[in-house]
Amino acid sequence: MNGVNGKRRSLLGYKETIVMDLVFATQNQNKAKEIQELLPSTIRVKTLAEIGCFDDILETADTLEGNAALKSQYVVDNFQVNCFADDTGLEINTLNGDPGVFSARYAGEGRDSNDHMDLVLKKLEGVTDRTAQFRTVISLIINGEEKQFEGIVKGDITHEKSGKSGFGYDPIFKPTGYSQTFSEMSMEEKNKISHRGIAVRKLIDYLRNI
């Protein structure tokens, strides 16, 4: 495996296990922990806080791919570590792919998820085609080489908010083939089919084989 940061000696002998540190460009310890549990023990996931990065990394690209790459490259350039970052957007067909890359600030800077959802529902009043998709892009940089992984889940925008779990646009997104919104599902059920779950599994499959 490339990008070696350390070694562990087996208690049963002299066999050594190579360990690689991999930074996740997030301050969310729970998100990092979830991914760590899916990875082999030879890869250790760290958050931005754990490497002393508290910078506000600007997402100025006009695509999810560009924003994910901006974040991972910023960390690599400023902290000289292997890193991965993600960006996610809700893409609604009738709205020409909006809110897309602006999903986190669709109703304006400083507004919350309810404001964003209210704006979407208002724009879709009287609209019959409510098809949409959630899309996540992960940018991974190891030893200066970038790989990207995409996860997509298709569905429809509901006519009203439903459910109390999840975050973002989950209360108004119902995945194809399901009668519940993401917000009405358990986290375990959502992760099995979600855009982020799909992208993360692709990332993990890649990391297991490098």
Supply the residues annotated as catalytic: 87
- Token pair, residue 92, equals 């609604």
- Token pair, residue 192, equals 């099995």
**102 exposed, middle or buried (CB, 10 Å; 0-12, 13-18, 19+)?**
middle
CB atoms within 10 A of CB 116: 22
- Token pair, residue 134, equals 């959630």
Cα Rg for the chain, rounded, in angstroms? 19
Q: Which phi and psi angles does 76 have, rounded to 5°?
A: -60, -45
